[in-house]
Each structure stands twice: as structure tokens, then as C-alpha cells.
């Protein structure tokens, strides 16, 4: 794939295509992050954002095969519906029930999920090197939560406690983890006690995300001193939950690393090369800081 490098990063007739699909998609930072990764590694690839509405998903998949688009990232609302268009699904993505990365292997489409493994890599590198034996509280039971709890389950935590506004979804997710990790669902009145005991408390809801930045999914004073407060949100980079947790003596971990590493794993699946994660982070950080 890399034998035909264009002069100084120019697109030429050997350039390999990649992209992200979503609805909406224009807010996505994936194109700047991935194009920086191609530039950094000298790979002759280009990555674009495609606004694909649900009624056009099948047409898009046909286009991927016809045009030989090598790799696609999949974001809201397509992570579930894209699965029926895959020729193979990685067992991890199958268990999670969502695909966020497609590899086009000469016309065979393989679906992966890099959200959960991206999150765990970020958590271990940036906040808590060992998850084994830890008590974890996960707030929220949506798509992102599913990805991360499966990845966390593989790290042998002592207990994963899930709390969600819609309690049935927390119950269902805790049940799905049976045999993989010690997991339970709790109702909101037990959240305070669970947070007091937890080593890591993770917000996987959208509460606190821009523009409603004055909201928090949980009272951070419930966390024990030294615990890790983690938030999947990266806009803002430090949510109210994380700010309050720091004031209460906790360590904080934001969502930017998850975004970088889910992209890094996708890049590695597509190219077989190590992703330039530091350069990718630098580019996204600069874009977020410039508004
Ligand atoms: P989702 O599938 O729509 O799930 C949303 C979750 O948030 C559900 O558990 C929902 O509870 C809960 N929720 C929403 N509004 C709430 C409110 N007002 N009060 C209490 N709970 C509320 O969305 P998702 O894809 O999982 O994304 C969730 C968050 O993760 C978003 O902020 C997203 O930006 C972030 N995320 C970050 C990355 C990253 O790379 N850093 C990747 C993926 C997602 P119900 O079940 O009761 O509706």
C-alpha cells in the first residue's frame, strides 16, 4: 500500500481512501486526526467525513466495496445498523453489539469495535495502570458504556457496578457481563454508597457535555479521596464532574485519550503500522483549543 508515496503529501492516483460516517458528522475531529497520522507515517492515504443518513447506509456500503475504500469509522447513529452489512464481525464487537471500525480487506468487510479497548488503554496510561482487583462504578448504560464495560471486564476488576437513568438498561448490561466479570446494576438511591466504595467512577452519559457544561451526573463529594474520576466526554476536556472530583482530592481522567486511542487502534487495523498517537493527540488538542 505504501510503495507509491505522493510528493510532499499530495493526493495522487495511488492514494488510498478512508473516512468516517455519521449523522451529523461535520463536528468530527477524526479527519484532522487521521490525516495527521497518515502524514506522520508517510502513508499515502486520505481520510474524509461523509454525512450518511440512515436511508443511505446500504448505498454507502456498496460504495465502499466499489471504490475500494480501505477503512471506515462509524459513529452515531450507525454503530448498530452497520453490523448487518459486515461480512465478518470481530468477536469483541459482536459481544458489545456495536461496530465503530470497518476494515475493507479486498472487498470483504470486517467490523471491529475500538471504543472500549481505546478507553482502557487511555485509563491505564493516563490514570490507573492496574485495573485488576479494582471496584468500578459506571454511570450510564448506552452504546459507549457497553463498549467500555466489556473491555474493563477483561482487566479482572473486583466489581463493576452499573447505574443508569433507565434502570432496565443497567440490569440488562450487568446480566450480559455474567461469566466475564463480577457485575451488578443498582438504582440511583444506592449510587452514593457505591461511589464511596469505588476506586474508579466513570461517567459514560452525555451529562456535562457542551453546551450544558454546568451539569454533573453525580455528586463528586461522594467519591473517596484518591479515587479516579473518569469521564468519556472530551468537550469540555475537564467536565464539572472532573473539576468537582479534583476539588474533593480525586485523580481525574478525561475522554480525549479514549478518542485518540480508538482512532489509533483503527489506524493500526487498517495499515498494520503503529499509530503516531502523540501527534494525533497534539492535532486534536490544538483543534479543540482553537474552538
Ligand atoms: P447513548 O448511547 O445515547 O447513551 C447515552 C447515555 O447517557 C444513556 O445511558 C442515557 O441514559 C444517559 N443520559 C443521557 N442524558 C441523561 C440525563 N439527562 N440524565 C441521566 N442520564 C442521561 O450515547 P453514547 O454513544 O453512549 O455516548 C455517551 C457519552 O459518551 C457522550 O457524551 C459521548 O460524547 C461520549 N463518548 C465519548 C467517546 C470518546 O471517544 N471519548 C466515544 C463515544 C462516546 P438512558 O438510558 O436513561 O437514556
Q: For the segment 208-224, what is each residue's pLDDT rounded down to a tens digit?
A: 999 999 999 999 999 99
Residues 128 and 235 in one domain: yes
Contact 157, 168 (CB under 8 A): no
Residue 4 inside a domain? The answer is no
Q: Does 2 score more than 60 pLDDT?
A: no
How far is ligand 1, taken at its centre, from the CA of residue 55, in Å? Answer: 24
Catalogue the active-site residues: 79
Q: What cell does 10 get?
A: 499530495
Confidence at residue 68, expressed as pLDDT on a 0 to 100 scale: 98
How far is ligand 1, taken at its centre, from the CA of residue 233, in Å? Answer: 9
Instruction: Please name the residue whose Cα sits nearest to atom 44 of ligand 1.
Output: 144
Residue 219 inside a domain? The answer is yes
Residues 214 and 281 in one domain: no
Average pLDDT over residues 236-242: 96
Residues 190 and 271 in one domain: no
CA separation for the pair 34, 32 (Å, rounded): 6
pLDDT tens digit string along 6-43? 555 689 999 999 999 999 999 999 999 999 999 999 99
Confidence at residue 7, expressed as pLDDT on a 0 to 100 scale: 52
CA separation for the pair 84, 228 (Å, rounded): 37
Q: Please identify, by atom number, the ligand 1 atom nearest to the C-alpha of residue 256.
A: 41
CA separation for the pair 80, 73 (Å, rounded): 13
Residues 77 and 137 in one domain: no
Average pLDDT over residues 136-157: 95
Average pLDDT over residues 193-216: 96
Residues 244 and 274 in one domain: no
Confidence at 104, pLDDT banded by 50, 70, 90: very high
| 88-89/159-163 β-pairing | unpaired
Element housing 22 (H / E) = strand 16-22
CA separation for the pair 161, 170 (Å, rounded): 9
Q: Please identify, by atom number, the ligand 1 atom nearest to the C-alpha of residue 166.
A: 47
With a 6 Å cutoff on the Cβ, whether 216 touches ligand 1 is: no
Average pLDDT over residues 169-185: 96
CA separation for the pair 165, 206 (Å, rounded): 12
Residues 176 and 237 in one domain: yes
Query: DSSP label at 7?
Result: G
**Domain CATH for 238:** 3.40.50.720
Residue 8 inside a domain? The answer is no
CA separation for the pair 203, 134 (Å, rounded): 16
Residue 33 inside a domain? The answer is yes
Which range marks the domain in which residue 28 is found?
16-113+258-289
Residues 265 and 246 in one domain: no
Confidence at 143, pLDDT banded by 50, 70, 90: confident
How many independent structural domains does the chain possess?
Answer: 2
Residue 124 inside a domain? The answer is yes
CA separation for the pair 242, 285 (Å, rounded): 18
The per-residue pLDDT of the chain, averaged, comes to 95
Residues 137 and 219 in one domain: yes
Residue 166 inside a domain? The answer is yes
Average pLDDT over residues 258-275: 98
Confidence at residue 5, expressed as pLDDT on a 0 to 100 scale: 52
Confidence at 3, pLDDT banded by 50, 70, 90: very low
Residues 101 and 121 in one domain: no
φ, ψ for residue 211 (rounded to 5)? -95, 0
Residue 7 inside a domain? The answer is no
* Burial (0-12, 13-18, 19+ Cβ within 10 Å), 124: middle
CA separation for the pair 238, 243 (Å, rounded): 6
CA separation for the pair 92, 150 (Å, rounded): 8
| 3 state SS for 177-208 | CCCCCCEEEECHHHHHHHHHHCCEEEECCCCC
Residues 129 and 191 in one domain: yes
Contact 90, 112 (CB under 8 A): yes
Residue 3 inside a domain? The answer is no
pLDDT tens digit string along 57-103? 999 999 999 999 999 999 999 999 999 999 999 999 999 999 999 99
Q: Does 4 score more than 90 pLDDT?
A: no
Average pLDDT over residues 278-283: 97
Residues 220 and 285 in one domain: no
Confidence at 160, pLDDT banded by 50, 70, 90: very high
Q: Angle 256-271/30-41 helices, nearest 10 degrees?
A: 50
**Domain CATH for 263:** 3.40.50.10860
Residues 90 and 213 in one domain: no
CA separation for the pair 83, 76 (Å, rounded): 13
Contact 236, 3 (CB under 8 A): no
Average pLDDT over residues 123-136: 97
Pocket test for ligand 1, best of 30, 206, 240, 257 (most atoms within 8 A of CB): 206
Amino acid at each position: 500500500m505504501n510503495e507509491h508515496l505522493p510528493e510532499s503529501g499530495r493526493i495522487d492516483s495511488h492514494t488510498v481512501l478512508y473516512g468516517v460516517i455519521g449523522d451529523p458528522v461535520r463536528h468530527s475531529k477524526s479527519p484532522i486526526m487521521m490525516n495527521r497520522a497518515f502524514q506522520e507515517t508517510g502513508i499515502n492515504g486520505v481520510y474524509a467525513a461523509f454525512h450518511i443518513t440512515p436511508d443511505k447506509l446500504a448505498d454507502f456500503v456498496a460504495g465502499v466495496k466499489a471504490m475500494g475504500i480501505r477503512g471506515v469509522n462509524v459513529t452515531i447513529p450507525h454503530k448498530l445498523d452497520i453490523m448487518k452489512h459486515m461480512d465478518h464481525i470481530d468477536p469483541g464487537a459482536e459481544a458489545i453489539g456495536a461496530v465503530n471500525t470497518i476494515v475493507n480487506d479486498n472487498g470483504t468487510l470486517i467490523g471491529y469495535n475500538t471504543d472500549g479497548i481505546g478507553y482502557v488503554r487511555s485509563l491505564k496510561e493516563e490514570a490507573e495502570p492496574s485495573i485488576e482487583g479494582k471496584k468500578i462504578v459506571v454511570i450510564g448504560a448506552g452504546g459507549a458504556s457497553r463498549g467500555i464495560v466489556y473491555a474493563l471486564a477483561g482487566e479482572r476488576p473486583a466489581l463493576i457496578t452499573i447505574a443508569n437513568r433507565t434502570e432496565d438498561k443497567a440490569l440488562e448490561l450487568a446480566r450480559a457481563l455474567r461469566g466475564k466479570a463480577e457485575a451488578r446494576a443498582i438504582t440511583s438511591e444506592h449510587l452514593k454508597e457505591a461511589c464511596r466504595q469505588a476506586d474508579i467512577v466513570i461517567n459514560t452519559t452525555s451529562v456535562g457535555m457542551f453546551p450544558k457544561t454546568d451539569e454533573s451526573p453525580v455528586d463528586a463529594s461522594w467519591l473517596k479521596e484518591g479515587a479516579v474520576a473518569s469521564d468519556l466526554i472530551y468537550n469540555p476536556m475537564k467536565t464539572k464532574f472532573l473539576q468537582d472530583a479534583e476539588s474533593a482530592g480525586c485523580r481525574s481522567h478525561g475522554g480525549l485519550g479514549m478518542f485518540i486511542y480508538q482512532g489509533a487502534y483503527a489506524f493500526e487495523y487498517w495499515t498494520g503500522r503503529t499509530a503516531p498517537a502523540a501527534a494525533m493527540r497534539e492535532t486534536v488538542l490544538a483543534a479543540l483549543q482553537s474552538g
